[in-house]
Amino acid sequence: MADDDQARAIEIKGLTTKFGAHVVHDALDLEVRRAETFAIVGGSGSGKSTLLREMILLHRPDGGSIRLLGTDIGTLDEEAARPLRQRIGVMFQQGGLFASMTVAENVGMPLREYTGLDDALVDEIAAAKIALTGLEAEAGLKFPSELSGGMHQRAALARALALDPELLFLDEPTAGLDPASADGVGALVRELRDLLGLTVVIITHDLDLLWQVTDRVAVLGGGKVRGVGSMAELAQMTHPDIRPYFDTPRARAAQQDAARRGDVDRLTEAAGHG
Amino acid sequence: MKASPPTPGESPATLDFAAPATWTLGGHWTALGLGELAKRLPSRGEQAQGRPVIDGSAVAALDTVGATVIEHWLARAGQGGEADWRGWKPAHEKLLARIREQGEAEPPVQPSPLGPVAAVGKATVDFLDELRALLRLVGECAVAVRMAIRHPSRIRWRPFLHHVGIAGLAAMPIVGLLALLMGVVVAYQGATQLVKYGANVFVVDLVGLAMLREFAPLVTAIIVAGRSGAAYAAQLGTMVVTEEVDALRTLGIPPVEMLVLPRVLALVLVMPLLTVYADVLGIVGGMVMATAKLGVDPEAFLDRLPRAVDVTQLMLGVGKAPVFAAIIVLVGCFQGLRTRGGADAVGAQTTRAVMQSIFLVIVADAAFSILFSMLGL
């Protein structure tokens, strides 16, 4: 069991979720390994967002079990969940930045809440995180409402990284970003994974991001996982829920672009090891 | 590359200065593992002697917070941030190098706050700005009203009726209840005084005058300000934040015409009606009290009423209502449309709207009293 917990960041078994009569997840199984970058994709209404909410302890599933960093979260009460929450970071699609605080205060807040660091050091670490995500230092003084879309996204990422979480969840990290910024986010995710050994779970529709950074991808459909594997492996699968990620013009363009960058080599290599 | 058990709580970060100029680090050098250690080090004198040796062979985990703290101390230890690194795992070395390469990120400095004189000046300028913007909205409303009179077909009847229902019909239970209680209170307070002089029947004059001229319009206005004024500010504020107001403009629809005018017309129509309704229930409340405490039965009460108060008193009270309505709806819409920023700004503007409209309603009521007394009414 301990070995399993070492190797797996998330282990989902027989997950069932219903909203009234509507079944969102029907005995869904999924595993995310430690230190891998994992993406969850699927059409609208395929239950990606609900799955994310269940993994970050915001929604209780109706059945099945979820193990997060070796802890079964089905039985946790709020008190017991707190240490676990400190080990995960979440970047919400709309950012979720606190509007009444500056960016620097937003990023520093988890540090002030959970560590004994003094204010000067917290400010310095917050400034370092803000710089790490590619924002200007002056952005730290701004309020979220004064930021552009891309800056907002980066600030949200900086806060998600504040406590150096072992497990980082990103909900549509490149939505609404210009191509250069989106590329920047991709590069940043890869750098963080290499540097900190982060496990990253991404919910995304961004085909370029899928090719660029992910080790493995799960495609959701009909309440189940339709396929899991590297992008190169998924490209060989024939399920109709998977094909749109490869057979549409946009998908082909993204694939060709990734091939040009030499990412396909990296991915097939990773698949060979995996 | 594993963030491995035991958890930071079980093996927190440790630091040892046993050998001179040697820092021996151990445990979890992470955000959660550092604990009190981060506060302790910079005051130590041991760092000064030459180039320190930093031994990381016992470090179980390192993250950017831990690495930043180490670099931060090193930068303050003199020696230009130089050190001999010993026994570090390659992954940790890489992270330390990355943090060093980024350099010490200086938190930006907040511009200093204004002095007292400048603050007063800024507040004054802001106030005048706000007043000018309010006047502009009043002007735009006047233009919209003129348009509505010339082309009644361009009035948006659906939102108008919707707001008549929400601000008028839905407010009836609470307005009625409070007016009734108001009548009871006025009669009860007067009763003890009137009994002393045997002037029991004058309770009719007291309740009639107080309710018709003052209490009914004022109580109605305060309730409507809290219910509808707040709602208008919140609705319009949210629409500004979600860019709905901008969308209206780009579609060529003036927001004042679409959003403000129906609310103005609805409230100006509804407030006098609510006031008359409050008049009736206030007098009923007084009548109940008069029967119970003063022995003035309803028949005698109603017989006395037309002689105690005339139509002028009723009209004076009801006549204030449209003015109060205009104040409430304009301040509510104005504060809503002035919302800038995000969700928390909506709350702030709503609070301002309610405070300002109640304040202005009471000021207007005082102005009416002065005016009426000058006119001898």
Q: Pull the structure tokens for residue A149.
A: 């879309």
pLDDT band at B76 (very low <50, low <70, confident <90, very high): confident
Q: Report chain A's terminal Cα–Cα distance, integer Å.
A: 20
Cis peptide before B8 (omega within 30 of 0): no
Q: In chain A, helix, strand, coil percent, each to 5?
A: 45, 25, 30
Q: Please name the residues in contact with B284: beta carbons below 8 A apart, sequence gap of 6 or more.
A: B180, B183
Predicted local distance difference test score (pLDDT) of residue A40: 93
| Secondary structure (DSSP) of B125-159 | HHHHHHHHHHHHHHHHHHHHHHHHHH-GGGS-HHH
Enumerate chain A positions whose Cβ falls within 8 A of a Cβ in B: 6, 34-35, 70, 83, 86, 99-100, 104, 111, 114-118, 121, 123-132, 137-138, 140-141, 143-146, 161-164, 166, 194-197
Q: Tell me what the mean pLDDT of segment A124-132 comes to.
A: 86
Predicted local distance difference test score (pLDDT) of residue A1: 45
Q: Tell me what the mean pLDDT of segment B329-345 comes to.
A: 91
Q: B183 with B282: CB under 8 angstroms?
A: yes
As a whole number, the mean pLDDT across chain A is: 85
Q: Please name the residues in contact with B240: beta carbons below 8 A apart, sequence gap of 6 or more.
A: B246, B336, B337, B339, B340
Q: Decide: residue A61, CB within 10 A, 0-12 exposed, 13-18 middle, 19+ buried.
A: buried
Predicted local distance difference test score (pLDDT) of residue B40: 66
Predicted local distance difference test score (pLDDT) of residue A251: 83
Contact B343 A99 (CB under 8 A): yes
B positions 42-81 inside 8 Å of A (CB): 63-65, 68-69, 72
Q: Decide: residue B50, CB within 10 A, 0-12 exposed, 13-18 middle, 19+ buried.
A: exposed
Q: Which of A100, A121, A195 sits opposite B69 (nearest CB)?
A: A121
| DSSP letter assigned to residue A128 | H
Q: Which of A83, A123, A196 sits opposite B107 (nearest CB)?
A: A123
Predicted local distance difference test score (pLDDT) of residue B236: 95
> So what's the ipTM on this one?
0.72
* B209-249 confidence digits (pLDDT tens): 999 999 999 999 999 999 999 999 999 999 998 889 998 88
Please list the alpha-helical segments (H only) found in B309-342.
311-337
* B271-281 confidence digits (pLDDT tens): 999 999 999 99
With a pLDDT cut of 90, the percent of chain B lying above it is: 54
Q: Report chain B's terminal Cα–Cα distance, integer Å.
A: 88
Q: Tell me what the mean pLDDT of segment B158-181 comes to.
A: 94
Q: Closest Cα to residue A199, out of A72, A68, A81, A83?
A: A68
Predicted local distance difference test score (pLDDT) of residue A262: 67
- Pick the residue with more confidence: A184 or B124? B124
Contact A127 B91 (CB under 8 A): no
Distance from CA of A52 to the nearest CA of B (A): 22
Spell out the domain ranges in chain A.
35-60+77-87+165-273, 97-163
Domains of chain B with bracketed CATH: 14-102 (3.30.750.24), 140-374 (no CATH)
Predicted local distance difference test score (pLDDT) of residue B19: 67
pLDDT band at B41 (very low <50, low <70, confident <90, very high): low
Number of Cβ within a 10 Å radius of residue B82:
11
Q: Which of B5, B34, B102 sits opposite A117 (nearest CB)?
A: B34
**pLDDT higher than threshold 80 for residue A204:** yes
Rounded Cα distance between B268 and B262, Å, is 10
pLDDT band at A51 (very low <50, low <70, confident <90, very high): very high
Rounded Cα distance between A89 and A40, Å, is 17
* A93-110 confidence digits (pLDDT tens): 888 888 888 999 999 998
pLDDT band at A116 (very low <50, low <70, confident <90, very high): confident
Ranking A182-186, B122-126, B284-288, B316-320 by mean pLDDT, the lowest is A182-186
**pLDDT higher than threshold 60 for residue B43:** no
Rounded Cα distance between A202 and A189, Å, is 10
pLDDT band at B357 (very low <50, low <70, confident <90, very high): very high
**pLDDT higher than threshold 70 for residue A227:** yes
pLDDT band at B1 (very low <50, low <70, confident <90, very high): very low
Q: Please state which CATH class domain A35-60+77-87+165-273 belongs to.
A: alpha beta
Distance from CA of B8 to the nearest CA of A (A): 10
Predicted local distance difference test score (pLDDT) of residue B45: 53
Predicted local distance difference test score (pLDDT) of residue B303: 92
Q: Closest Cα to residue B30, out of B92, B105, B89?
A: B92
| DSSP letter assigned to residue A95 | B
Predicted local distance difference test score (pLDDT) of residue B89: 86
Rounded Cα distance between B340 and B3, Å, is 44
**Residue B342 near chain A (CB below 8 Å):** yes
